[in-house]
Amino acid sequence: MISDIPENEIEITFSRSSGPGGQNVNKTSTKVQLQWNVKNSSAFSEEQKDKIIAFYNSEILYASNQETRSQIENRIRAIKKLQNMLVIALREEKIRLATKPSFASRLKRLIQKQRHSQVKQLRKKPDLD
């Protein structure tokens, strides 16, 4: 799916990661940030683009990763994140078919209502007339 997106449509930036890592964190830019403009993409149809934009309420999708010490590995993971975001946004929702409650479930509900009503009646103060 993301392999359909041309490489030139994804803007990739690298920066220094935060957190532990000693000198490696201070001298290497291993954090990867991806930015993809959905509206200007030629990879998806207008309908798919509208669905992605509506799902995320944004025309630009961002994904970043800084989990590993390797810039290449972080880039691969960020691309997978973006890919998963698209899969989630384009997933077709199942249409729910309305069904009627079964006779047994209706009966069970009525019995529970009667029982609850009896409990409430027992809580009342007795009538002394």
Q: How confident is the model at residue 127 (pLDDT cuts 50, 70, 90)?
A: confident
Burial of 29-45, coded b for 16+ CB within 10 Å and e otherwise, reads ebbbbbebebeebebbe
* Residue pLDDT, tens place only, 17-68: 876 667 777 778 888 999 999 998 888 899 999 999 999 999 999 999 988 8
Strands 60-65 and 31-37: antiparallel
3-state secondary structure of 57: coil
pTM, full prediction: 0.67
Mean pLDDT estimate for the chain: 88
CATH number (3.30.160.20, 3.40.630.10, 3.40.50.2000, 3.40.470.10) of 2-89 reads: 3.30.160.20
Phi, psi of 62 (to 5 degrees): -120, 145
Query: Which pair of tokens denotes residue 17?
Result: 């990661």
